[in-house]
Structure 1
Amino acid sequence: MRWRLLDEETGATITEYTDIDGLFVDRVFPHEPLHERYTLLSCAPSGPLLTAIDGTGPTWFGNFVLEGAHVPGRPASERCEASCQECYESMEELLNVRVVGHRPAAGGSGLLDIDLEGHRRDSDNNRGGTIAPAVFGYRLLACSTANGSSEETPAGECRGIAGLFHERPDSWPPGPPLTLLGCRRRLSGSFQAELAHVRVDGTAHTMGWGQRVFGSVIATRPSNLGDDLVDVMVDARIPEPLATNDRPLWDMWRAGGPTEPNLWAELDRSDRYLWVRAAVVHRNHAPDKPADTAYHLDGQYVTDFDAFFCAIGEAVNGPGGWFGGDLFWLHENAATGGGGATPGFRLIWHNSEVARTHLVSGYDRKSWLPAVTFDDLVRYLTEDGVQLELR
């Protein structure tokens, strides 16, 4: 039995089953937002937006922020402060933005209509980007990328924006209706459950909130997977399904997990990201190792941000180990413990020159933020008390 449903409140097993239709979908993760064109209407550009138009500055900004500048109930002359809640809730962030054209706005106002290309950051603001906020204009901020950080620079104001607010496909659409295949126990009625992946040794690993199962049984049938087993159809969908190319990784962890280091090295960056996600679900919550333990990070394949987390996870916790998948969890594990190493540990980073060469400044089109550099990682680890040796 590969899977279990666990009651959300009690943790009791509702049923066990062999497989599940609707968990793995034919998609690539992480999802890339849609490439779109937007038009800033009746715009008074300044700063980097103005220099992009007159040709004295770059046309590419990195990210671009629009904040509501005037809100209902306030005089049109009164600008919202940055802390104004109405303005914050109307904020939109555009990613990887480039100026692609401009022209005089209608009415002879001397203002400009300015065309941009980029992506909308997935967020709940403004009903997921479908409804324009009730504001009377926007303040513009260009987010330049330099020296591993992002700086917001005022870029003018505009009265509106076209092309931004409309329906889009879900950034992470729920999976198809679920069928639990080869269940040991017949189900009826409704349930709210967590999904757990079961290894061959019987160890069960609960998954995240995005893989919960809330629904009701709609039909059952005898299963082809064994006598006395049933298939159960439920009116539930996985909120955040896994990618089809996740399945081989999960099968490997079910069989006991990776047996040697660097099996992730042949994967591309998207699949390395999936590797880290599988590693955190299947991690063993063992006590941190003694404070005098030294860890050896094999850096020969650390050619991107996700590769670093594959490598440091294995350095601390062995093949398939997890020691964070982003900067927040790297800090939590290094500075406060709980990830397998007592804070203040010694980390020997072999072949560190590979990461120094590949993890450089720029714009990361996976995170849509300034790239985390080798020097950034060295600084973060050192500041969190890690005794780091670069070799």
Structure 2
Amino acid sequence: MPIPLRWRLLDERTGATLTDCAVVDGLFVDRVFPPEPLYERYTLSSCAPTGPLLAAVDGTGPAWFGNFVLEGAHVPGRPVDGGCGAGCQDCDEIVEELLDVRVVGHRPAPGGPGLLDIDLEGHRRDNDNNRGGAVPPAVFGYRLSAWSTANGSIEGTPAGECADITGLFHERPDAWPPGPPLTLLGCRPGLNRSIEAELAHVRVDGTVHPMSWGQRVFGTVVAVRPSILGNDLVDITTDARIPEPLAATDRPLWDMWHAGGPTGPNLWAKLDRSGRYLWVRAAAVHRRHAPDKPADTVYHLDGRYVTDYDAFYCAIGEAVNGPGGWFGGDLFWLHENAATGDGGATPGFRLIWHNSEVARSHLVSGYDRKSWLPVVTFDDLVRHLTGDGVQLELR
């Protein structure tokens, strides 16, 4: 029986097929998605708190206030360039965001009367600013702001200034490090050179679905030998590592899509929210591009299982494009598909949302510890859909 060659390497520059393989060993790793954040202790030094930070310190407000932003502050009397002190980097490079933050202590600061040293607990948003948070920026103190979750707002509220922060700038392990060196098993043809390739998933029907930048293959062939899978195939050892490997929990979903995709609606309903996010991501890779359906098409969203934000995208994807369908996975792509088309439905379409009370009762205001942002509520989704011209009927 022929061995299915389910992965394809496409030349980064030309798109030509470099090789087809049965297995990419190192693509799936034994990790849990999403990774647990690393909570840390920070100290704001010589701080003059205002607003929500002052309220957290003096007990007139909650100790927890969601997200916390630090921006480089200028020193009075120095030239100001975009709010930064003379000689500092562009402000975009010095902004740091702390997530799920609470005040855990405070005391008088030696820097002057009325100033405080304030201890925070939270974790840093993973980004490239300040060399991934490893090196303090060249600034003269920080302006502070807190993000309110009231009414879904993400507007910053001024929270004071401080002279410095300790505990923030240091080396950290990668939250989701690259995978191990890849071994391509059961390949045809072999490779004997450096690789700069896009990885694509090949389904049983022969359709080819390129994956994202995070799964591209850049490296060098180390060895080629007859495959352990036989059938005149070869195994290719490389020094390439997948920048963003897939979680082991992803594998059953990819096996399902390889075999033809979901065989009926709501197969995602039994998954937890992380699994539903992975479902939407796999659906995006495996979407089949086709002209938008006629303008008079009516779509029915089965709302019985829309108990979280990612469930909504599972459900609307299936409403528009059938089992396993994709119609966006965040507000940006929901807008792009609903307002401009190319997602399967002609803009201005009619959508009947059945059992909408389920989402209304679950998607309520609060703080989302998946996105680390205020929750996208049921009312937010309704406002976005209707604002993009969708004829929405709630039942």
- With normalisation by structure 2, the TM-score equals 0.95
Residue identity opposite 1:291 in structure 2: A
Alignment of 1:258-269 (within 5 A): 258-269=262-273
Is 1:359 aligned with 2:363?
A: yes
Q: Would you say the 8 A contact 1:69–1:87 is kept in 2?
A: no
C-alpha displacement of 1:15 = 0.4
Return the alpha-carbon distance in structure 2 between the equivalents of residues 273 and 376 of structure 1. 19
Is 1:98 aligned with 2:99?
A: no
Q: Would you say the 8 A contact 1:129–1:166 is kept in 2?
A: yes
Match of 1:385 in 2: 389
C-alpha displacement of 1:228 = 1.2
Match of 2:42 in 1: 38
Match of 2:320 in 1: 316
Return the alpha-carbon distance in structure 1 between the equivalents of residues 320 and 376 of structure 2. 21
Question: C-alpha deviations, 1:54-89, integer Å up to 9, x for none?
Answer: 111111111000000027xx844858538x972332
Return the alpha-carbon distance in structure 2 between the equivalents of residues 77 and 241 of structure 1. 46
- The one of 38, 57, 66 equivalent to 2:70 is 66
C-alpha displacement of 1:33 = 2.7
- Return 39-48 or 308-317, whichever deviates more: 39-48
Question: C-alpha deviations, 1:119-164, integer Å up to 9, x for none?
Answer: 1011111000000001110001011111111221111110100110
Return the alpha-carbon distance in structure 1 between the equivalents of residues 140 and 269 of structure 2. 51
Question: C-alpha deviations, 1:298-320, integer Å up to 9, x for none?
Answer: 00000000000000000000000
C-alpha displacement of 1:169 = 1.2
Return the alpha-carbon distance in structure 1 between the equivalents of residues 213 and 51 of structure 2. 43
Is 1:300 aligned with 2:293?
A: no
Is 1:51 aligned with 2:92?
A: no
- Return 104-113 or 12-21, whichever deviates more: 104-113
C-alpha displacement of 1:18 = 0.4
Residue 99 of structure 1: SS of its match in structure 2?
Answer: strand
Return the alpha-carbon distance in structure 1 between the equivalents of residues 269 and 384 of structure 2. 24
Return the alpha-carbon distance in structure 2 between the equivalents of residues 37 and 285 of structure 1. 48
Residue identity opposite 1:323 in structure 2: F
Is 1:286 aligned with 2:290?
A: yes
Match of 2:154 in 1: 150
Return the alpha-carbon distance in structure 2 between the equivalents of residues 107 and 343 of structure 1. 59
Alignment of 1:1-391 (within 5 A): 1-70=5-74, 75-76=77-78, 80-81=82-83, 86-106=90-110, 109-391=113-395
C-alpha displacement of 1:30 = 2.9
Return the alpha-carbon distance in structure 2 between the equivalents of residues 281 and 80 of structure 1. 41
Return the alpha-carbon distance in structure 1 between the equivalents of residues 6 and 81 of structure 2. 58
Q: Would you say the 8 A contact 2:89–2:138 is kept in 1?
A: no
CA RMSD of aligned residues (A): 1.7
Residue identity opposite 2:224 in structure 1: T
Return the alpha-carbon distance in structure 1 between the equivalents of residues 335 and 154 of structure 2. 20
Residue identity opposite 1:20 in structure 2: V
Residue identity opposite 1:355 in structure 2: A
Return the alpha-carbon distance in structure 1 between the equivalents of residues 77 and 232 of structure 2. 72
C-alpha displacement of 1:29 = 2.1
Return the alpha-carbon distance in structure 2 between the equivalents of residues 133 and 53 of structure 1. 27
Return the alpha-carbon distance in structure 2 between the equivalents of residues 358 and 78 of structure 1. 47
- With normalisation by structure 1, the TM-score equals 0.96
Q: Would you say the 8 A contact 1:61–1:96 is kept in 2?
A: yes
C-alpha displacement of 1:196 = 0.6
Return the alpha-carbon distance in structure 1 between the equivalents of residues 10 and 155 of structure 2. 46
C-alpha displacement of 1:27 = 1.5
Question: C-alpha deviations, 1:163-202, integer Å up to 9, x for none?
Answer: 1001111122111100000111111011210001000111
- Return 166-175 or 176-185, whichever deviates more: 166-175
Distance of aligned partners of 1:109 and 1:250 in 2 relative to their CA distance in 1, 3 Å threshold: same
Aligned pairs, number: 389
Return the alpha-carbon distance in structure 1 between the equivalents of residues 67 and 31 of structure 2. 26
C-alpha displacement of 1:26 = 1.3
Question: C-alpha deviations, 1:236-280, integer Å up to 9, x for none?
Answer: 000111000100000000000001000000000001000000000
Return the alpha-carbon distance in structure 2 between the equivalents of residues 268 and 106 of structure 1. 49
Residue 311 of structure 2: SS of its match in structure 1?
Answer: helix
Residue identity opposite 1:277 in structure 2: R
Return the alpha-carbon distance in structure 1 between the equivalents of residues 134 and 182 of structure 2. 29
Question: Percent identity, aligned pairs only?
Answer: 80
- Return 152-161 or 29-38, whichever deviates more: 29-38
Q: Would you say the 8 A contact 1:212–1:239 is kept in 2?
A: yes
Return the alpha-carbon distance in structure 1 between the equivalents of residues 131 and 375 of structure 2. 29
Structure 1: gaps spanning 5 or more residues: none
Q: Would you say the 8 A contact 1:69–1:80 is kept in 2?
A: no
